[in-house]
Structure 1
């Protein structure tokens, strides 16, 4: 309805504007129906009247034709079209009696239309009314439709407050299905392909190509955010978009940090962008481990923003029955007497599946199950192909089993004799480590990042040097040969995990952070006294 009214108004404005622009003057009087002194006064105010008139025109044009889709393209076309029309009319005036081309009128038209169009865009952003509720209303943001570790954590958080919160995704996929199954209201704001394909190692040229798509999505999120009390960015890419959107909407932002911001994980440009957005836009940063917090601060992040909250897990009342695990082993082609190693996680070089395969060459009667797939990048897909080739090498052929992505992972953990985590770079948290502990299995993990915080060496698991196939093989042989020791550390790990990582305790900490952020004063959020971040020293 508004667009229809705006289009009718636009037509009337164009007719009136053309009449005024092309009307001959009479005795230097443009508006002959006005008294002489009024007409002369209006001529003195010509620049400002033109600016105001074109501002009204620009405002009307935006409401008639504007949209938060392809914003930069629309802005350029609208401004260019109005300016071209203005130039054309000014040129025609030179042939009209009593009229002449005036360069000041061209500038007035250009400035006026820019002012009007930008005002219309701002009005569109601020037309959404905030929802009223007793509990803080939260708009959760996540970049992907896939189910990764960060998404599984968000699924639990959002499901606990499904009555008063929503999730905005930048891609569709099984994550949306899982959220809707948990009765969480979900909306997909489709991010253009060129922007969604940008990874953590992207450089400046690649990032610049995505600017129009990012601007479009930022404005859409800003408009949606005005209906909520808090914006909650669950991933790095959602922070880059959600941070400026929250500032535009005047809403406080929480950034849930699931990544180690350091070389090997992010390019230098992306490190700087993340730290800037977190420091300038976030009211609180939730780190999933001390390792992620330390890396954030080392790169220039503000320490006072940070609080550490580990990932939470549902403690199942019952595990997978033996007949089902036996059937699963048979379906994967694993001999019933084989000692079985499980490694879960997306197939990616930094996850270290190749390290496990190399170590397995010296571990007799052992089979490995790789649970996961190449989810995100072309680099991951190439790596997955290399793993399949490595699995066919002499000494490994027939002992490596690719299970692919599975939504129900518990039977795979219950089937295994040991769980391995072999990341070659520091892991932000290590969700699969806790899943192995909860399953009552001995766990071997890389001695770096969040993994080293979860495992107490030789008490709740074994820690090995990252990337060392020899060290991993030695730990595997120790557990294979000493079943008593393996059972002891597995039991101790299970009790520790149940006490430390129960979802209820973690959700309570997250809810506390949300309420604190929602209760912060708006003046503090918008205060210009917030110091801008210095260039991250680790990215130099």
Structure 2
């Protein structure tokens, strides 16, 4: 019987975001009869122990700054030793940052590397410019728009490009939804009977939470009983002070009592059960938008901005509504359209759930990841066999 191939997953950070959720799912659901995952974390955080509880071997070698060459090469050297000692056959790195370390370590150890580019390629992104120069057998993107952006910015360079949409778990519907909803709302201090609208993502300018707050202020003039949730926190030491600026904006608009800042939550599925409308007000290009698909899978009507990835996940007028980014008037009008029509909310939510189940299930994602990994490993085996024959 063939033993499973050892796969090293490189996590740049130990905190949970969309990219990390995808790699967590891979670590959890890969077919262990074919693949044996290990995890290499470049920064510590709660995910380190979470991955370890999955029965996955976890290695932590904290990095400092990319501008620190001593730490960089020490980390790469540790990665190379890890790959050799653990008999790793393939390294799968998250983001360009992960590939900077994982790709070089893999190259030095003589094994293949795959890079999952979770973001949108940009000529202004130094990390991507460095990462694309590092050998990789395959680059995975989370959407067709991300794949096109990569080709436009960097070209193909002979590297295979694969599109794999991140997937979510499609939970079965349950009869006690109303009761569980009110439990969550009680925790948040929201009275019964309120329509609840939420935006869920890390707090940073490109996610458009300021537009969300301004649109909420406008919608509240006609619908004063609505409550708004901002779920998420500043992450990875980025954009410090942005949350405070958002709270000040709510105060300046006089709606601080209508917006609940929940901070980071691990129980997003519970929160989704408790809301009525989901809004993704991103203003910067997005490669996918995992939280959008999570909301769709929960049967919620979604409003998204036309910033790339969400255009591939939402069918305007059928599974949700699409508005232009940085346009608080359009967003407010879309919110008011759904507030005025409970039947439309129900219809869009049902269609969204069906569409997410058919196109963005976690099982489908894992099957595509397994097929991609298998193809790289098979090609590597064939190449080594050919070299062996040529050397005889």
TM-score (structure 2 length as normaliser): 0.91
Structure 2: gaps (5+ residues): 385-392
Equivalent in the alignment of 1:310: 165
Equivalent in the alignment of 1:329: 185
Q: Could you tell me which of 110, 119, 141 is aligned with 1:287?
A: 141
SS of aligned partner of 2:241: helix
Give me the whole-angstrom Cα distance separating, in 1, the residues matched to 2:160 and 2:327.
36
Q: Could you tell me which of 491, 497, 502 is aligned with 2:361?
A: 502
Q: Is 1:352 paired with 2:208?
A: yes
Structure 1: gaps (5+ residues): 1-131, 196-206, 526-540
Give me the whole-angstrom Cα distance separating, in 2, the residues matched to 1:301 and 1:342.
38
1:213-362 matches, cutoff 5 A: 213-226=71-84, 227-262=87-122, 267-277=124-134, 281-302=135-156, 304-319=159-174, 321-362=177-218
Give me the whole-angstrom Cα distance separating, in 1, the residues matched to 2:111 and 2:308.
32
Rg larger for:
1
Give me the whole-angstrom Cα distance separating, in 2, the residues matched to 1:328 and 1:262.
40
Cα drift, residue 523 of structure 1: 9.0
Change (3 A) 1:301 1:233: farther
Cα drift, residue 397 of structure 1: 2.1
> Which has the higher mean CA deviation after the structures are superposed, 481-490 or 139-148?
481-490
Change (3 A) 1:335 1:312: same
Does the 8 A contact of 2:96 with 2:127 survive in 1?
Answer: no
**Residue deviations 1:58-83, cap 9 Å, x none?**
xxxxxxxxxxxxxxxxxxxxxxxxxx
RMSD of aligned Cα (Å) = 2.0
Q: Could you tell me which of 29, 40, 43 is aligned with 1:160?
A: 29
1:31-70 matches, cutoff 5 A: none
Cα drift, residue 522 of structure 1: 6.9
Give me the whole-angstrom Cα distance separating, in 2, the residues matched to 1:442 and 1:388.
26
SS of aligned partner of 1:448: coil
**Residue deviations 1:298-342, cap 9 Å, x none?**
111417511101001112234573223212212212232222111
Does the 8 A contact of 1:162 with 1:183 survive in 2?
Answer: no
1:475-486 matches, cutoff 5 A: 475-486=334-345
Does the 8 A contact of 2:30 with 2:366 survive in 1?
Answer: no
Does the 8 A contact of 1:162 with 1:185 survive in 2?
Answer: no
**Residue deviations 1:179-214, cap 9 Å, x none?**
12222221111213xx1xxxxxxxxxxx5x322211
Does the 8 A contact of 1:422 with 1:445 survive in 2?
Answer: yes
Does the 8 A contact of 1:413 with 1:439 survive in 2?
Answer: yes
Equivalent in the alignment of 2:372: 513
Equivalent in the alignment of 2:14: 145
**Residue deviations 1:246-272, cap 9 Å, x none?**
110000011111100126xxx443332
Higher relative contact order (CA 8 A, sep 6+): 2
Give me the whole-angstrom Cα distance separating, in 2, the residues matched to 1:271 and 1:247.
18
Return the structure number with greater helix share.
Answer: 1
The total of aligned residue pairs comes to 374
Cα drift, residue 446 of structure 1: 0.8
TM-score (structure 1 length as normaliser): 0.66
Q: Could you tell me which of 21, 43, 58 is aligned with 1:186?
A: 58
